[in-house]
Amino acid sequence: MASYFRIARIRAVEATEPAMNPKQKTLDGASRRTQHTLRHALAFTIAPLALLCLIALPSAAQQPATTGRSAAARRHQQEQLTDAQADLYERWRANINLNQPAAFEAGREYVGKYPNGEYGARVRAWVEAYERAARKLQFESLLFKEKKYAAAFNLGKQVLANEPDNLRTIINLASAGYLASNAGDASSNAETLDYARRATALLEGGAKPSDWKPFTGQPDALAYLNFITGELILRETPAESVNYFRKAIASEGAVKNTPVIYSRLAAAYVASRYEPQSKEFEARFGGKEATPESKAALEEINATVDLITDAYARAVALSGTAAQYAEARARWMQELTRFYKFRNNDSADGLEAYIAGVTAKPLP
């Protein structure tokens, strides 16, 4: 039996797992009951940026009244516009409600040609506000619609620079960074971890984003952020990763009904407990007669194997027959079978029944 402890490092730590996307975190089969909570895809219809409009904008031909006028009004009257400048200003002003893309082009041209004066300041303020709003729309489109996660992450940082305390943007940056990492670009993992922790702290402190979508509320968002944190620290601190995964599963969010988090929990158990325990067992008791001390050490390993088996069984059960998990499910099933047989005299008898009933039990 001791030779079994020479199991190579479990592949789940290194293997690329299916990404857990906050827009699609449930499956057919065992998790169908919660699918409705995750179908809140963001609508990306480009709404008119009407809030950017300046109230009571004067036309270039209008002049302020002379009676009781202020110093600002006198300066305004003194600003002389050429016909070309007045036409360009009017083209911007006339379109800010009817055709904002056209207004933006006219405004940008105006600022480029006539950057000074009261008219220039007014147009510049509108153009900059339009650019900020457009970046926010593009950021979420890249993240949720186009699924260009690395590009979304880079643009999202620009959005956050304009609004450093925007909780929705911080949450979305954590999501974009995690999804980019899962797709193979881990260059932003440290920043992503920081965003996940910042968002978690803000939510736990009572802050609320302007819009919860694609989450259903605070528990759902917190569960996803705890999953991201656990995933990003798994290699370096797997024991801490276990805590974050279990915290995510304990939340009333959709994450607990997805297979990926259980496969990652199993990997964290292997890295933090099973591997060091089995190595120590081999070093101290390998090839020797059983003693009370070796039996106690083996019982500790058995307890860890039970946790791993439970986690992998949940991953397999929740993956159902979903095509997106076909490859991962085969890997999870292979590891589950190995650990299950270790605890059952090298037999897989009863494994299918174990899988079928595991989600009805509380997490050990």
**Distance (Å, rounded) from C-alpha 173 to C-alpha 153?**
6
Say how far apart CA 179 and CA 218 lie, in whole Å. Answer: 20
Q: What is the mean pLDDT of residues 40-46?
A: 27
Averaged pLDDT, 310-331: 96
Q: Which two tokens stand for residue 266?
A: 């199993």
Average pLDDT over residues 243-259: 95
169 falls in which pLDDT band (50, 70, 90)? very high
Q: b vs e for 185-222, b when ≥16 Cβ sit within 10 Å of the residue's Cβ? A: eeebbeebbbbbbbbbebbeeeeebeeebbbbebbbbb
Q: How many other CB atoms are found less than 10 A from the CB of residue 58?
A: 14
Q: How far apart are CA 344 and CA 68, in angstroms?
A: 95
What is the phi/psi pair of residue 359, to 5°? -75, -15
Q: For the CA atoms of 9, 11, 14, 17, what is the dihedral angle to 10 degrees?
A: -150
pLDDT at 208 over 90: yes
pTM equals 0.78
pLDDT at 6: 29
Look at residues 231, 324, 340 and name the one whose alpha carbon lies nearest to residue 24: 324
Over residues 81-130, the pLDDT tens digits come to 899 999 999 999 999 999 999 999 999 999 999 999 999 999 999 999 99
Mean pLDDT within 272-287: 96
Confidence class for position 23, pLDDT limits 50, 70, 90: low
Q: In this predicted model, what pLDDT tens digit does every residue of 69-86 receive, in sequence order?
A: 444 444 445 568 899 999
User: Any bridge partners for residue 24, and if so which?
Assistant: 21
Can you tell me the distance from the alpha carbon of 101 to that of 95, in angstroms, rounded to the nearest whole number? 8
| Average pLDDT estimate for 21-36 | 44
How much is the pLDDT for 252? 87
Hey, how many other C-beta atoms are within 10 angstroms of the C-beta on 223?
25
pLDDT at 79: 67
Rg (CA), the chain: 29
- For residue 48, pLDDT over 80 is answered with no
Q: Which amino acid is at 52?
A: L
Candidates 137, 76, 77; CA nearest to 101 is: 137
**Rounded to whole angstroms, what are the CA distances from 235 to 1, 47, 77, 142?**
28, 43, 67, 28
